[in-house]
Structure 1
Amino acid sequence: MEILDYVMDEAFVLIPVLWILGKMIKQMQLMPNRFIPITLLGISTIFTTVMMGLSVETLIQAILVTGAAVFGHQLWKQFNNDD
């Protein structure tokens, strides 16, 4: 089983959105890099609540989507690292 097996279809669109927002936050240097994942979780929580309503399942989806976005970014970063 993969993490994406648990993500609802409606929430998949948020993964690339969070990737883009994370990249923008990093390039604008609005905050230290260590705070970007928690910021993305907050943004994801807002977006999933707007899309699917407020519920425990929505909060779980926000966490899963943020996890998939951050994990995917780290995989991409490590894969392209020449070290």
Structure 2
Amino acid sequence: MNQSELLALAQQYMVDKALIVVVVLLVLGYFLKRTPHIPDWSIPWLLTLAGIFLACGILQAYTIENIVQGILAAGVASLTHQLWKQTTEKRGSEQ
């Protein structure tokens, strides 16, 4: 999956206003990853909660649709991070 396919997938299911949440979650995840006292397993959960609150705030209502938009934003941010990580980092068997 390349960047244009990922963007097309996100635009197909997400409201345009909620796409900014993906960018905010990527930055937040970057900082959470570098915080020493936050375990890695908790970062996706924190990003999901932050995504829900940010999406509901940007879309100005706490509805099921907006909560789903926040969950989708967290999923797209996590997928984007993993695609970047898996593409750029070398593993032991590939060196």
- The alignment's TM-score, normalised by the length of structure 1, stands at 0.92
> In structure 1, what is the equivalent of residue 28 of structure 2?
21
Are residue 72 (structure 1) and residue 80 (structure 2) matched? yes
- CA displacement at 1:29 relative to structure 2: 2.1
Higher RCO, 1 or 2 (CA under 8 Å, sep at least 6)? 1
Partner of 2:54: 47
Alignment gaps of 5+ in structure 2: none
Larger Rg: 2
SS of match in other structure, 1:13: helix
Partner of 1:82: 90
Q: Root-mean-square deviation (CA), in Å?
A: 1.4
How much does 1:82 deviate? 1.7
Identity over the aligned pairs, expressed in percent? 29
Q: How many residues align?
A: 83
Question: Which TM-score applies when normalising by structure 2?
Answer: 0.81
Question: Which amino acid counterpart does residue 32 of structure 2 have in structure 1?
Answer: I
Return structure 1 stretches of 4+ with deviation > 6 angstroms: none
Matched, 1:7 2:30: no
